[in-house]
Amino acid sequence: MIDIKTLDELARRVHEAIPPGVREATGDLHQHLRAGLQAGLGKLDLVTREEFDVQRAVLLRTREKLELLERMVELLETRLEAYTGPKH
């Protein structure tokens, strides 16, 4: 979920973008904006930055392992070819 500081900042920016006359017509417009943004963003399929960073690290480790395995397979194929002769 989006962090509260970011949500408050977004609500503040939207609130400031609204013309002053409209802002004054609704006393707690900022709170309504914040609640509306929170509800709308809550429906989105978002991940936290922490979750993103964890998945990125996992992906990088997986890529490194895959590259190592690819090099090992190439080496084994080269050795097999040297032992059995070239492929047709």
pLDDT in tens, 42-85: 788 778 889 999 999 999 999 999 999 999 999 999 999 998 87
User: How many structural domains are present in the chain?
Assistant: 2
Clarify whether residues 59 and 22 are in a common domain: no
Q: Which domain holds residue 11?
A: 1-46
Q: Spell out a b/e string for 52-67, using b for 16 or more CB atoms within 10 Å of the CB, else e.
A: eeeeeeeeeeeeeeee
Q: Are residues 39 and 56 in the same domain?
A: no
Q: pTM of the entire structure? A: 0.50
